[in-house]
Amino acid sequence: METQPTSINLSQAWYGGTENACSLYTTFCKIEKKYIVPITRDIKEISKELLGKRIFKVKPQACKFKIKSIISKIDSFNLDELEILLEKNYTTIDFLCKVNNMRERNTKEHSIKIGRKISNT
């Protein structure tokens, strides 16, 4: 059985002082309904369809793994990023590429911040 991506833990966000926790949760639920559920439901067919296109590998299993990896990072996005994902009707590949670009940008920004903290100590 396929594992569903985790959803945003609203109580943890609320108690952790996350800004706009309710808006964050409802926006995530909209994205989950519009994109994540259909992608995870038909992941085999989608991975075959996306083979060799843009950021996806040539092997079906690697493509399936990449899709799951991309989707799993959506719950760490902030409200502005989630709203960007809802402002247009993306195709499956465009949605996955957009999420992947956001994920890579966030990773790069985080590593730069970590590097600054380490160099300042």
Q: What confidence tens digit (pLDDT) does each residue in 81-108 have?
A: 999 999 999 999 899 999 999 999 988 8
Domain boundaries, the chain: 10-120
Listing DSSP states for 30-63 in one string gives HHIIIIIHHHHHTHHHHHHHTTTSTT--SSHHHH
Question: What's the pLDDT band for 117 if we cut at 50, 70, 90?
Answer: low
Q: pTM for the complete prediction?
A: 0.74
